[in-house]
Amino acid sequence: MKDWRKSTLGELVTEGSANYQTGPFGTVLKASEFSKEGVPLISVGEIREGYIQILSSTPRVCERITTKLPKYILEEEDIVFGRKGAINRNAIIQKEQAGWFLGSDGIRLRLSDEHSSSFFSYQLRTSSIQEWLMNNGTGAIMPGLNQKILDRLPVYIPKLHIQQKIAKVLSTLDAKIELNNRINAELEGMAKLLYDYWFVQFEFPMTAAQAATLGRPDLEGHPYKGSGGKMVFNPTLKREIPDGWEDTVVEDILAKEPRTKKIPNSEIIPKGITPVIDQSKDFICGYTDDPDARIEEIPKIVFGDHTRVMKFVNFTFARGADGTQVLTSNTKRVPQHLFYQMLASIDLSSYGYARHFKFLKQQKLVLPGERISQSFETFTATLFYQIKNNQKQNQELTELRDWLLPMLMNGQVSVE
């Protein structure tokens, strides 16, 4: 690290090799100008650890806005910070995200070709920099970030080819993590597609008995409703459902969960024996070594009482604190993988900021026959087993990356 130049972001701006842009304030871009179509508006809520996460609540802006306010358009390799709250996070804009729009709660850092944006993004994610940002942020209640604070941010700059080599090592690990995430999204999509086909459209494979009832044994295995399977109007659900199916509510098929210790945020550790699952967007929020907190009878569904986040957990875990509900079905007619799909399809967004579990328990569900439910369970269990393996590998890759990151940035590990 002896050949690395110590500098600040402000010095890079003065030299002309970097520049900032703070997102538009409300006087420039009003909330009434947001739309459901167009490009995403990137603010603190979308900025994760090195990447952008688009949420269902992410607003968008149309072409009229991007044309009127071009200086807020994000380019490939821009680095984006949150301007308040989680100011220690940053994300780098990927090629496919170029053209997205900087939100009011964001600050954009753009570097010249003299520097590797990827290298800087990783350096800005080291624990020492993150701690510096939180300690130097303004605001007594919620930390805030502005360009003057960023000007003072210390950085260490090696030669460009060293920057690029370090970035390549770390980005290779991130690329594998992202690939696993895409695979998991595809696997979850397959499970949801089958759920919709069998339990929403009612096109599950017709049994031999059902085909015989129609006097058409040749229809065995054909889609039920489309092949003329008997449908009966259900007055509670206010729609037709397959003959023999019933209605229920979520509360009636919830098993009583044994009491287990909840892990408050203050006791969550970055590394440990048992993953902690809470209601946050991150699947795993940390770890605990407390044996009394372990939940070993799996799979379970974790529901965020405040956030409405739904997670399917098929490995031993510990429960996060306030607002984390653990759910299990009490009937073979709704096994756990099917229960997850049913709950995930319920829209509770109209209740706003509230305790949502009480509303979830009131939701009406269709109660299928056990045979088709168990067939679905067998198929989707295989998919979620693959998802679990990918999640485990991602955790190992993340730990390796986070172990390498400070060592590469302080010169303990060389890439020359």
pLDDT tens digits, 105-129: 999 999 999 999 999 999 999 989 9
Structure tokens at 292: 């009394």
pLDDT of residue 235: 97
| Cα angle: 45, vertex 50, 53; to 5 degrees | 40
Region 5-157: CATH code: 3.90.220.20
Gap between the Cα atoms of 99 and 251, Å rounded: 45
% residues pLDDT > 70 (the chain):
99
Average pLDDT of the segment spanning 44-53:
89
Residue 392 has pLDDT above 80, yes or no: yes
pLDDT tens track for 264-275: 989 999 889 999
Residue 411 has pLDDT above 80, yes or no: no
% residues pLDDT > 90 (the chain):
81
Gap between the Cα atoms of 331 and 315, Å rounded: 21
Structure tokens at 133: 């940002």
What residue spans define the domains of the chain? 5-157, 246-367
pLDDT of residue 372: 96
pLDDT of residue 352: 75
CATH class of this structure's domain 246-367: alpha beta
pTM as predicted: 0.83
Query: Pairing state of beta strands 246-249 and 310-313?
Result: unpaired
Single-letter residue type at 192 = K
Gap between the Cα atoms of 79 and 94, Å rounded: 10
Residue 1 has pLDDT above 70, yes or no: no
pLDDT of residue 22: 95
Average pLDDT of the segment spanning 139-156:
90
Residue 226 has pLDDT above 90, yes or no: yes
pLDDT of residue 141: 80
Separate counts of helices (H) and strands (E) for the chain: 10, 21
Average pLDDT of the segment spanning 62-86:
94
pLDDT of residue 281: 84
Gap between the Cα atoms of 33 and 305, Å rounded: 31
Q: Which residue has the higher pLDDT, 102 or 410?
A: 102
Domain 5-157 and domain 246-367 have a common topology: yes
Structure tokens at 78: 């821009």
Average pLDDT of the segment spanning 388-406:
92
Distances (CA, A) of 114 to 95, 156, 166, 304: 19, 14, 15, 45
Average pLDDT of the segment spanning 333-348:
96
pLDDT band, very low/low/confident/very high, at 416 (cuts 50, 70, 90): low
